[in-house]
Chain A
Amino acid sequence: MVSPCGGSGLTTVNLLAYRDPELFARLLRRIIPALEEQVQKLGRRVRIMEVCGTHTVSFSRTGVRQVLADFVELISGPGCPVCVTDQSDIDHMIAYAKRPGTVVATFGDMMQVPGSAASLRRQRAEGADVRVVYSPSQAVDLALENPQKQVVLLGVGFETTAPGVALSLKRAARDGVRNYFVYSVHKLTPPALKALVEDPDHRLDGFLLPGHVSAIIGRRGWTLLELLNQPAVIGGFEPLDLVVSVYRLVQEMKRPVRLVVNNYGRVVREDGNPAAQRLLEETFEAAPARWRGFGMLPQSGLEISETYRAFDARVALPVDRPVTKAVRGCRCGEVVKGKETPLQCRLFGTACTPERPLGPCMVSDEGTCSIYYQYERSHHRDRREEPHEDYALARGWRQPDA
């Protein structure tokens, strides 16, 4: 989008320059031969998992996915928090909406996620008090404004989101807020990648690592990928970040010994954000967690620590364990592992649509199914309409072979 007003004078190199279409086009022209070379070597397209759902969205929204489609198959990974949340946890969270005297505070992302029986949106229509918040501190404000009620924040998200929730716990403890609780299903990303890499069936050539998780855990947070010699690049989310990250990842694939490359230096430090890490250690403890598609993964979840147990909804406000039913035919579990695309799911686009989602991958804006529905359904037809087999050639980025 353009800003014909000319900007406020505060815009900078940090953001807008990384969206420069002209520089993008030049970089792309330069990078395509390297991608082509790798495609020829492999005899197929390069398979890259973009771990982060926001990357998935960025690739589709900017059209970069399509621009690279002749060379790169992008596979969405377990980086959409509501998509990897196990069905029993989703049912549990929805159950709080039915608890008398309870206000459920949630990020907008959770509102439509279907539980076995209902979604939060449905519960709200039936009279439950469900509030969409933008930040965890708003949930503490809600608790202060409603002293006679119990406010439960649904703590969904990865390493980037958990520190904000940790701050809300500290504030509640400091100010003696006794009616604020968190149901934590926060998850840690590296254990899921470890599980993916160790799966003998995995068919990935490399990983584009989540930039904002890395802002917290640092490049050092990914050492396990180096131990496993996996090509991996930490990348940002602007168009230039995307295309350069893909290039650097392909370069890394060509090396015998791979290092985790930080291609998001303006945000990601070697050690991440130590203050945020200390805060997480103080308020949470790593624990086994159940992931959709993966099952139990050791030390992959964040439970509220002993010190803050009074704010742990699981402990302080137990609800009856709801009955969890799997949706028959839903392939979300395979989709979050990158083993199947939504197009392989029989429910996709017919029984399961963004208006009536059956699985969480169709609900979240960054869920793979939702993205395929919004952006990719037309892709094949689009390419058929363009009578050129080679997209780069068609766009004039590459000269035809003599």
Chain B
Amino acid sequence: MCLAVPAKVLEVDPTRLRARVDYLGSQTVVGIALVGGVQTGQFVLVHVGEAVQVMDEEQARDGLALWREWLDDSEPAGLP
């Protein structure tokens, strides 16, 4: 229903509320009015030219790590 893609923030223009971002090697400019305080190096989720959320890299890594752990466990258990 809403196509949105993660992009890495390369440069923030706090006065115009815009940021230069990178999608897998393509750079473009998006609005950041909805994600106040976003910083260079963070990832944002972009929809219709606006960053709609700052992505939580820790969560992203932990999410994967949990699944891997779950797979590596010999004893089957529910996902946490």
Q: Do A and B bind each other?
A: yes
**Which residues of A approach B to under 8 Å, CB–CB?**
3, 5, 7-8, 10-15, 17-18, 23, 26-27, 30, 51-54, 79-81, 107, 134-138, 157-158, 160-161, 163-164, 167, 189, 210, 212-213, 215-216, 240, 244, 247-248, 251, 265-269, 273, 275-276, 279, 366
Query: When chains A and B are docked, how far (Å) is the Cα of A216 from the Cα of B45?
Result: 11
**Which residues of B approach A to under 8 Å, CB–CB?**
1-4, 6, 8, 22, 24-25, 31, 33-36, 43, 45, 47-50, 52-53, 55-57, 59-64, 67-68, 70-71, 76, 78-79
Residues of A within 8 A of B2 (CB): 52, 54, 157-158, 160-161, 210, 212-213
Residues of B within 8 A of A11 (CB): 24
Residues of A within 8 A of B34 (CB): 163, 167, 273, 275-276, 279
Q: Across the interface, do B47 and A212 meet the contact criterion of CB distance under 8 Å?
A: yes
Residues of A within 8 A of B50 (CB): 135, 163-164, 167
Q: Across the interface, do B43 and A240 meet the contact criterion of CB distance under 8 Å?
A: no
Residues of B within 8 A of A164 (CB): 31, 47-50, 52
Q: Across the interface, do B67 and A27 meet the contact criterion of CB distance under 8 Å?
A: yes
A to B CB contacts below 8 Å, 5 in the list:
A135-B31, A160-B4, A265-B62, A269-B53, A269-B56
- Count, A-B residue pairs, CB within 8 A: 146
Interface of B is mostly: mixed
Query: Smallest distance from the beta carbon of A83 to chain B beta carbons, Å?
Result: 10
Residues of B within 8 A of A163 (CB): 34, 50, 52
Query: Smallest distance from the beta carbon of A12 to chain B beta carbons, Å?
Result: 7
Query: Smallest distance from the beta carbon of B77 to chain A beta carbons, Å?
Result: 11
Other-chain residue from B1, B31, B43, B70 in contact with A212 (beta carbon distance below 8 A) = B1
